[in-house]
Amino acid sequence: MAHVTRIKVRGYHLDLYGHVNNARYLEFLEEGRWSWVEERGDLAGFMKGGYGFSVVNININYRRPAFLGDELEILTSLKSLGNRSGVVRQVVRMAGTDTVVAEADVTFVVVSAKTGRAVPLEGEVRGLLAGLEADRSGEG
């Protein structure tokens, strides 16, 4: 089951055309991922272990514009988890509807704060991801 983060569109989210600027969706998606990890992941364990997440690729499809005052829901779930990277599936939709505003696949790696390099997703690190694995999207 996907984690849901709600965001209300504010004036500073808009571009010259009066709809949410495409770059703002990156911030909306990041807010959704942080909320998801805080609620379902072991953020304290990651910090204690000296690990962090690093986004290495984002693919976004924009489906329809969002405007001032719109209530959006960012649905976040784990799409896949490999040996070196994972993919988070995120869908931005109009709150309370099935109307998709944007959707994205976000590829991430786990990085060691000591080395600054990606680490394999096994052992301790895999255990820290267990709460997020429970949110499989069923895609991929």
- Note the Cα 1 to chain centre separation in Å: 14
Phi then psi for 120, rounded to 5 degrees? -65, 145
Residue 138 in tokens: 């069923």
| Angstrom distance (rounded) from CA 50 to CA 45 | 8
Q: Judge whether 70 counts as a catalytic residue.
A: no
| Angstrom distance (rounded) from CA 20 to CA 119 | 36
Q: Which of 15, 98, 105, 135 is catalytic?
A: 15
Q: Which of 95, 91, 96 is nearest to 79 (CA)?
A: 91
- Helices and strands (H and E) in the chain: how many: 4, 5
Instruction: Catalogue the active-site residues.
Output: 15
